């Protein structure tokens, strides 16, 4: 598993119980960018993210396999759900935020 540090959310747009966000993280020293969605439900948020294509290329150049990429995405999602991140940048809220 690759080491993931410095997870930060740079922009968030929220409407009702859905938030779209963009962020960055360091994966074994390589800065990656990602976009995602969080849906707030009774049991807690459900989060899905996707790494930008350029970030996938950077990680592949470092020898990261497809399976490892899936593990990185899963770990990033877990960190976001558990609040292990820094939120900075633009935040726009429409509707009723939670």
Work out the average pLDDT over 62-79. 94
What confidence category does residue 2 fall into, taking pLDDT thresholds of 50, 70 and 90?
Answer: low
Examine the pLDDT at 96 and tell me if it is beyond 50: no
pLDDT of residue 88: 85
In the chain the beta strands, taken as DSSP E runs, fall at 4-15, 18-27, 30-41, 44-51, 86-94
Element (H, E) at 24: strand 18-27
Check residue 85 and report its DSSP letter.
S
* Higher per-residue confidence, 33 vs 86: 33
SS3 49: strand
Average pLDDT (71-81) is: 94
Two structure tokens written together for 95 = 């509707």
Q: What's the pTM value of the predicted model, to 2 decimals?
A: 0.86
Per residue in 3-55, pLDDT (tens digit) is: 899 999 999 999 889 999 999 999 989 999 999 999 998 888 899 999 999 99
């Amino acid at each position: 598993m690759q080491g993931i540090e410095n997870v930060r959310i740079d922009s968030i747009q929220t409407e009702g119980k859905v938030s779209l966000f963009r962020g960055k993280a360091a994966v074994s020293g390589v800065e990656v960018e990602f976009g995602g969605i969080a849906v707030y439900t009774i049991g807690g948020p459900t989060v899905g993210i996707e790494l930008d294509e350029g970030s996938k290329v950077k990680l592949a150049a470092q020898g990261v396999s497809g399976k490892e990429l899936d593990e990185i995405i899963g770990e990033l999602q877990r960190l976001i759900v558990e609040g292990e991140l820094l939120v900075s940048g633009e935040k726009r809220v429409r509707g009723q935020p939670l």
